[in-house]
Structure formats: structure tokens, C-alpha cells
């Protein structure tokens, strides 16, 4: 089999890239090692930036998002239960975010794939990259071989692509946080119509949602926490404590139908290109979830990458391809900084003393009283311009 771009991974980065390339009449094949049901079933991101919303619109795939997604003009912060609102739209000249789950985005991308000529090979096991630094790279998997001009490594944090780059040509930067997020989904109305990011002496909590009838809550937890130690009642008690009395009064409790723990990590691999291989999304960088940047950074990468391939195939210039890594990384580092800052501001670190906590509270109070500080948060939250 031969194609122009071999895409490894059918997550948000890989599938969005495939749609963007097909829109430009560039041929591609997506190799995914799991099933569609598995990829679509993973409960992950919930908040889409402006840029992500716009690209779905540009692809003509935004219809369901606009009818079912929730537009948020603001977000809330809480200090030991005391809430204040950041009016993102007012601070950014009208920018908003869209609450629309990653599962829904994946559903829309998969549903439109066949009709638009996006070829996906599911359950491609043992994917391996070959001759990446030559002009004739190819990809193999159990029972198949795909020859191509370029490879897009969109296979997430644990994929095969990054490992195909010799270690001496990449530099990695990492921060592992000493805690995770315990998240639940429950079919109960959300406590608040906008999100609440809560800094509490007992640790971080987040009240989020998927729809008017479905809530998503997170609690900062220890890395060795066991799910069986968190029956729903304990979770609800703790989340109410951390969100504070005012919000707790609005919390509707109910049985959770999903409960999982995610560790928090910052990670960047530089450069994002080697020879004919281009990394995009979680394959190249990870952010802690605070601030909801992961999926959005993945989408921003593939917008730049798709434009670079279009410039090459339709304009005959390699300038975009050659500039991809530097351009993508400039945005990535800003996303890394914001996610790291927001995590540092809102979480309880094990080595924190009384002074450190006073600094967090002082910074939150400063944000509360400063339009400049709120604008900084708001413009990062809704997404920096491309
Ligand atoms: P992935 O989604 O990891 O996709 C990679 C794909 O490649 C997968 O389908 C995988 O099966 C496949 N694959 C892996 N290895 C191979 C292989 N060897 N061969 C073939 N295929 C392979 N981000 C936000 O923007 N907003 C949020 O609100 C947010 N909340 C989050 C909450 C949680 C609990 C978690 C865990 C993450 C959250 N994120 C959020 C992050 C976001 O989910 C990821 O950044 C996003 O999924 C990255 O997309 P991706 O396509 O790069 O990688
Ligand atoms: C969600 C996840 C996040 O990381 C975040 O910052 C906001 C919302 C969510 O899953 O709803």
C-alpha cells in the first residue's frame, strides 16, 4: 500500500490531521492499534478552545457540537470555598470555550471519516517505523506495509513514533507531580453552570460537566490511592468539603458510572521532527490537565502540520515542513507554562509549608482583585491566537 502521509494513531491529533489533509486533497492512511469503540470510549478532555471549535467548523463537523455543547463565557476559582468568577468573554473581547467531551469530538470525526475518504486501519498491532531519515520511509504492522512520503506520529504518550527517533537527536523535559486526579462521571445536574477550580487546604477539586444532566468532578489524590477506597459517598463528601459550603449546597449526588485516576505530568520532546517523521499531540508533549490544554495543543499541532503539508504538495515549498517543529513548540511551551502555573496555584504539594500555602492564597486573592491578572488567565484559558 502507498500513501502520501502515514498517520500513526487515531486519537484527536491523528484523526483531525487526516480530516484536514483530506480537505486539501492530500492522501493519507491512519493506523490505529485499538478498536474504534475503545478510542471513542475513553473519558478524557472536556473543554475546547476557540481554535479547536473553529477547526471543527472549518471541517464542516461542528453541527452537533453547536447544538449539544455548552458555551462558557466565564470560569470560577475558589479559595477554601470562597468563589469568584473570571468573566473570560468580557476580558478577551468576546472569546469563550466550548464544553464538549473528547468522546463526542471523536464520535463526530469517526462518523465523517468514511464519507470523506479518511482511511483508518483499526487494530494494527506491532506498528514499526522504517527508514525515517531517508526519502522513502515506510511503516509496517502485523500483516501490512505502508510506503509513504512522510509519517505523522500521533500515537500519544506511549506510542511507537517517538521511540523511532534516536535518543541523541532529541532532548526531553519533564516534571512529574506527586499527585493524581481522581475523576468521576455521574448523571446528575452540575453544581454550577460554569466550571469551578478549587484550591482547598485538603487539596484541589474541580467541578465540571458534560451536559445539563451529566457532571464531571475531579479530586486531587495521592498517586497510590486505590479506587476501591473511594466509594461514591466518600467521593461526594470530599468534593463537597473542598468546593465549600456555598457550592456543596448546589451539588446533586448520584451514582458514578465512571471512576478513574490519572497521574499528572509535564513533558516535552524537542524537536518534534526527525527526518520524515513529525510528532504531534501527546506523542510529543504532555501537560497536567489543569486548564484543559492537552487536546487543544494536539489540535493546534495538526493545524500547523496540515498547513505545512499543503504548502509542500500544492505550493512546492518545504518552508512550512522545515518550520513545523519550531512553530509548534512555541505554542506548546506556552501551554506547558500555563498548565504548570495553574497546577502550582491550585494543588497541595506534599512538601508545602504554611508559607507556600499563604503564597497560593495571596496570588488567588491578587487575581480576584486585578483585571490584569484575570486577563492573563482568561486569554490563556480561551486559547492563545495561532
Ligand atoms: P491520544 O488521545 O493518546 O491518541 C493516540 C492514539 O494512538 C490512541 O488512539 C492510541 O490507541 C493510538 N496508539 C498508541 N500507540 C499506538 C501504536 N503503537 N500504534 C498505533 N496506534 C497507537 N485535554 C484538553 O484539552 N482538555 C481537557 O479538559 C482535558 N482533560 C483531560 C482529562 C483527563 C482525565 C485526561 C487523561 C486527559 C485530559 N486531556 C485534556 C488531555 C487529552 O485527552 C489528550 O491531550 C489528547 O487525547 C491527546 O490527543 P492525541 O491524539 O495526541 O493522543
Ligand atoms: C475537564 C478537565 C480538565 O482538565 C479541565 O481543566 C476542565 C474540565 C473535564 O474533564 O471536564
Separation CA 346–CA 352 (nearest Å): 12
Q: Would you call 12 a catalytic residue per the annotation?
A: no
pLDDT of residue 180: 98
pLDDT of residue 290: 98
Q: Is 262 in the pocket of ligand 1 (CB under 6 A)?
A: yes
> Which ligand 1 atom is the nearest neighbour of the CA of 125?
19
**In whole angstroms, how far apart are CA 264 and each of 105, 179, 184, 305, 370?**
23, 7, 16, 27, 29
pLDDT of residue 69: 98
Separation CA 326–CA 354 (nearest Å): 41
Instruction: Using 50 as the pLDDT threshold, list the residues of the chain that sit under it.
Output: none
Half-sphere exposure of residue 294: CA atoms within 13 angstroms, side-chain side: 20
Separation CA 340–CA 266 (nearest Å): 7
Q: What is the pLDDT of residues 337-349, one digit of tens each?
A: 999 999 999 999 9
Cell of 280: 504531534
Task: Give, using CA atoms, the residue closest to atom 3 of ligand 2.
Answer: 292
Q: Would you call 189 a catalytic residue per the annotation?
A: no
Cell of 188: 446528575
Find the 290 Cα to ligand 2 centroid distance in Å. 7
Neighbours of 102 (CB within 10 A): 21
pLDDT of residue 170: 96
Find the 283 Cα to ligand 1 centroid distance in Å. 9
Question: With contact defined as beta carbons under 8 Å apart, do 275 and 150 qualify?
Answer: no
Separation CA 58–CA 23 (nearest Å): 10
Terminal-residue alpha carbon distance, the chain? 35
pLDDT of residue 80: 96
> Which ligand 2 atom is the nearest neighbour of the CA of 294?
4
Task: Give, using CA atoms, the residue closest to atom 7 of ligand 2.
Answer: 292
Cell of 40: 471513542
Q: What is the DSSP letter of 164?
A: G
pLDDT of residue 195: 98
| Ligand 1 pocket: which of 294, 299, 303 to mutate (most atoms within 8 A of CB) | 294
Separation CA 202–CA 200 (nearest Å): 5
User: Cα dihedral sign for 302, 63, 35, 145?
Assistant: negative
User: Cα dihedral sign for 30, 34, 38, 42?
Assistant: negative
pLDDT of residue 59: 98
Separation CA 273–CA 330 (nearest Å): 14
Cell of 254: 448520584
Find the helix packing angle between 50-58 and 12-23, rounded to 10°. 40
Find the 147 Cα to ligand 1 centroid distance in Å. 25
Query: Strand, helix or coil at 291?
Result: coil
Cis omega (within 30 of 0) for bond into 242: no
Of 56, 278, 38, the closest CA to residue 164 belongs to 278
pLDDT of residue 208: 98
Q: What is the pLDDT of residues 272-303, one digit of tens each?
A: 999 999 999 999 999 999 999 999 999 999 99
pLDDT of residue 110: 98
**Residue 25, Ramachandran bin (φ over 0: left; ψ between -120 and 50: alpha; else beta):** left
Task: Give, using CA atoms, the residue closest to atom 25 of ligand 1.
Answer: 295
Amino acid at each position: 500500500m502507498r500513501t502520501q502521509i502515514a498517520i500513526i494513531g487515531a486519537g484527536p491529533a491523528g484523526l483531525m490531521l487526516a480530516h484536514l489533509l483530506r480537505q486539501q486533497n492530500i492522501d493519507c492512511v491512519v493506523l490505529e492499534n485499538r478498536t474504534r469503540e475503545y478510542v471513542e470510549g475513553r473519558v478524557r478532555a472536556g473543554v475546547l478552545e476557540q481554535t479547536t471549535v473553529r477547526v471543527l467548523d472549518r471541517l464542516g463537523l461542528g453541527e452537533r457540537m453547536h447544538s449539544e455543547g455548552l458555551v462558557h463565557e466565564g470560569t470560577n476559582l475558589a479559595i477554601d470555598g470562597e468563589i469568584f468568577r473570571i468573566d473570560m468573554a468580557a476580558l478577551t473581547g468576546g472569546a469563550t470555550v466550548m464544553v464538549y467531551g473528547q468522546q463526542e469530538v471523536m464520535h463526530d470525526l469517526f462518523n465523517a471519516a468514511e464519507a470523506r475518504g479518511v482511511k483508518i486501519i483499526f487494530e494494527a498491532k506491532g506498528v514499526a517505523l522504517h527508514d525515517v531519515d531517508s526519502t522513502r520511509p515506510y511503516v509496517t504492522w502485523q500483516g501490512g506495509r505502508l510506503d509513504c512520503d512522510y509519517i505523522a506520529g500521533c500515537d500519544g504518550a506511549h506510542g511507537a513514533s517517538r521511540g523511532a527517533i534516536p535518543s541523541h537527536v532529541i532532548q526531553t523535559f519533564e516534571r512529574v507531580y506527586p499527585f493524581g486526579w481522581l475523576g468521576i462521571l455521574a448523571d446528575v445536574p452540575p453544581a454550577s453552570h460554569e466550571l469551578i477550580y478549587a484550591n482547598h487546604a485538603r487539596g484541589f477539586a474541580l467541578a465540571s460537566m458534560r451536559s445539563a444532566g451529566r457532571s464531571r468532578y475531579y479530586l486531587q489524590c495521592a498517586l497510590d490511592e486505590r479506587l476501591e477506597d473511594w466509594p461514591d459517598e466518600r467521593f461526594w463528601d470530599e468534593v463537597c468539603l473542598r468546593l465549600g459550603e456555598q457550592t456543596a449546597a448546589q451539588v446533586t449526588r448520584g451514582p458514578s458510572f465512571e471512576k478513574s485516576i490519572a497521574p499528572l505530568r509535564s513533558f516535552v520532546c524537542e524537536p518534534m521532527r526527525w527526518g520524515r517523521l513529525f510528532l504531534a499531540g501527546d506523542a510529543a508533549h504532555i501537560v497536567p490537565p489543569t486548564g484543559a490544554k492537552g487536546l487543544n495543543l494536539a489540535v493546534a499541532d495538526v493545524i500547523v502540520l496540515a498547513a505545512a503539508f499543503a504548502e509542500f504538495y500544492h505550493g512546492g515549498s518545504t518552508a512550512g515542513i522545515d518550520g513545523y517543529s519550531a512553530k509548534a513548540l512555541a505554542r506548546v511551551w506556552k501551554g506547558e507554562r500555563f498548565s504548570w502555573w495553574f497546577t502550582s496555584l491550585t494543588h497541595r504539594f506534599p512538601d508545602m509549608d504554611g508559607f507556600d500555602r499563604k503564597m497560593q492564597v495571596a496570588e488567588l486573592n491578587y487575581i480576584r482583585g486585578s483585571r490584569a491578572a484575570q486577563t492573563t488567565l482568561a486569554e490563556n484559558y480561551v486559547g492563545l491566537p495561532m
